[in-house]
Amino acid sequence: MTAESLERRFLFFFLTSPFGQGLIKLYDNGAAQPNLGAKSVAKYTIYLPSTTQQQAIVEKLDALSEETKALEAIYERKQSTLAELKQSLLQKAFKGEL
């Protein structure tokens, strides 16, 4: 494997995936401040698709990440709106306006 055959974002997504995190824990040095050394990474078995496939995977994961962020923002706005509605209803109930 050469540096040219590995997309950095692909490696990032791999290492932050549950499988990648499992590898990191498996080869953790057990210190209070864990580190990711080159010798440990060299032991990892990584399925490495072609550069074109890596780029396609990264593009798809980036798109899903953006969609997830947009959905989280919508969810947070709805939660906030519901909390405001609840407060408004409680105030009206206590004032006898319902």
What is the per-residue pLDDT for 86?
A: 95
Domain boundaries, the chain: 1-48, 50-98
Unique residue bearing structure tokens 């498996």 = 26
Q: Return the pLDDT at 25.
A: 83
53-86 tens-digit pLDDT: 999 999 999 999 999 999 999 999 999 999 999 9
pTM over 0.85: no
Instruction: Return the C-alpha torsion angle 47, 50, 52, 58, nearest 10.
Output: 10
